[in-house]
């Protein structure tokens, strides 16, 4: 299937219906089982409440603007600010209707290519943005652990024993973190140190019998890494600094949304711990197969953040969080895709 058809397939009724239906079912469940309406009615709905909610929405705007700025910088301003809005919204939309571990990478390549970038530069862009996101996570997690430790970072109540084997969030998190770190190091070695060497290593690994069927794909991956290296190795320190700063603002604003939503209903004194819990929660959400983490995200929210929310309000806050951070991209994508397809094919 061509990348063009992949983009159009995102707009099918089935693709849109699955996350919306799952989301609605989970929303009703959350409101029914995790919301105390009497407690909610006692909440003080004053100007402060709506002010914190508004600041939460501002965080989402900052996140999108930071991503747009990063695209603008990484493409050497080849994609305009106006077109970078389309790119980010379509990228977020494709991520919202595909499983977290898959993401919208394939569609992103096509979008960037249709915006005027060469195939090689589109591939380089996607690889480098992935590296920036991974490095943010790899660097931020140790800093958070140094500041708050691990004693309260992992909710004990989420630990489960199955057939005598204990499955804990802490164990899953550290495995996921190590995998993310490994991929980051591989990307850094391939892009900045020795791309041809990494290609040779990949081809050697995939010559084994049980991996041989993916050997052709690894040849393409190796070529992509070499192209990415040629594209970005000569960039200045200031170039990398600006892109790194944009990544930091994008991810930090994404996580601060939750802090401000909680502040709308109750005073909070453990903001950094909430931030740390979200770092763990994000990695757990990524590995689940539902589109955009739909269904899993809401339950993860209650499991990781209920300690900081008044009893009876965790359900409504989980719903408000998803209404601010997930569903807008679905509906903006529905509006942007037809116009964008018409633009690039005309």
pLDDT at position 85: 93
Sole residue written with tokens 């197969």 = 289
Asked, for residue 202, whether it belongs to a domain, the answer is: no
Query: What CA–CA distance (Å, rounded) separates 167 from 172?
Result: 8
pLDDT at position 119: 76
The domain of 75 spans 3-191+237-345
Asked, for residue 120, whether it belongs to a domain, the answer is: yes
CB atoms inside a 10 Å sphere around CB 245 = 14
Sole residue written with tokens 């300690």 = 307
For residue 121 the two structure tokens come to 């530069």
pLDDT at position 261: 92
pLDDT at position 163: 42
pLDDT at position 251: 95
pLDDT at position 134: 92
Asked, for residue 197, whether it belongs to a domain, the answer is: no
pLDDT at position 73: 92
Which distant-in-sequence residues (6+ apart) come within 8 Å of 238 by Cβ? none
pLDDT at position 246: 96
String of DSSP letters for 142-176? HHHHHHH-STTTS-GGG-EEETTEEE-HHHHHHHH
Mean per-residue pLDDT pooled into runs of 10, the chain (346 residues): 55 68 77 70 77 94 96 89 90 79 70 82 86 94 90 69 58 88 90 86 78 76 83 87 95 94 87 92 77 76 86 85 88 86 79
What are the distances in angstroms from CA 185 to CA 132, 138, 174, 191? 12, 10, 16, 10
**Of 139, 220, 231, 222, which is closest to residue 192 (Cα–Cα)?**
231
| 290, 296 Cβ separation under 8 angstroms | yes
- How many domains does the chain contain in total? 1
Which distant-in-sequence residues (6+ apart) come within 8 Å of 65 by Cβ? none
**Of 87, 151, 92, which is closest to residue 117 (Cα–Cα)?**
87
**Of 127, 138, 155, 125, which is closest to residue 281 (Cα–Cα)?**
155
Query: What CA–CA distance (Å, rounded) separates 52 from 43?
Result: 14
Asked, for residue 205, whether it belongs to a domain, the answer is: no
Asked, for residue 218, whether it belongs to a domain, the answer is: no
pLDDT at position 344: 80
pLDDT at position 162: 45
Asked, for residue 141, whether it belongs to a domain, the answer is: yes
| 259, 275 Cβ separation under 8 angstroms | yes
| 103, 92 Cβ separation under 8 angstroms | no
| 187, 134 Cβ separation under 8 angstroms | yes
Asked, for residue 213, whether it belongs to a domain, the answer is: no
Asked, for residue 220, whether it belongs to a domain, the answer is: no
For the chain, count helices (H), then strands (E).
15, 2
């Amino acid at each position: 299937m061509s990348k063009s058809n992949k983009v159009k397939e995102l707009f099918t009724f089935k693709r849109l219906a699955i996350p919306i239906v799952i989301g609605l079912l989970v929303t009703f469940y959350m409101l029914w089982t995790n919301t105390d309406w009497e407690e909610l009615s006692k909440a003080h709905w004053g100007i402060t409440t709506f002010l914190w909610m508004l600041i939460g929405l501002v965080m989402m705007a900052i996140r999108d603007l930071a991503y747009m700025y990063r695209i603008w910088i990484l493409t050497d301003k080849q994609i305009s600010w106006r077109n970078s809005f389309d790119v980010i919204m379509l990228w977020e939309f494709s991520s919202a209707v595909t499983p977290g571990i898959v993401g919208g990478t394939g569609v992103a390549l096509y979008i960037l290519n249709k915006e005027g970038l060469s195939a090689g530069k589109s591939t380089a862009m996607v690889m480098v943005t992935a590296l920036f996101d991974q490095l943010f996570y790899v660097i931020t997690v140790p800093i958070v652990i140094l500041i708050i430790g691990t004693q309260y970072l992992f909710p004990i109540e989420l630990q489960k024993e199955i057939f005598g084997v204990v499955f804990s969030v802490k164990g899953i998190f550290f495995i996921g973190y190590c995998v993310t770190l490994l991929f980051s190091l591989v990307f850094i070695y391939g892009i900045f140190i020795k791309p041809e060497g990494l290609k040779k290593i990949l081809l050697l690994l995939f010559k084994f019998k049980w991996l041989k069927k993916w050997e052709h794909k690894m040849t393409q991956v190796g070529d992509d890494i070499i192209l990415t290296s040629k594209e970005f190795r000569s960039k200045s320190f200031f170039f990398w600094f600006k892109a790194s700063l944009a990544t930091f603002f994008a991810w930090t604003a994404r996580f601060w949304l939750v802090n401000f939503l909680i502040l709308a209903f109750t005073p909070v004194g453990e903001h950094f711990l909430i931030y740390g819990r979200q770092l763990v929660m994000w990695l757990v959400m990524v590995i689940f197969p539902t589109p955009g983490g739909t269904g899993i995200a809401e339950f993860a929210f209650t499991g990781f953040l209920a300690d900081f929310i008044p009893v009876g309000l965790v359900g409504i806050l989980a719903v408000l969080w998803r209404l601010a951070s997930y569903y807008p991209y679905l509906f903006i994508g529905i509006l942007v895709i037809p116009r964008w397809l018409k633009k690039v094919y005309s």
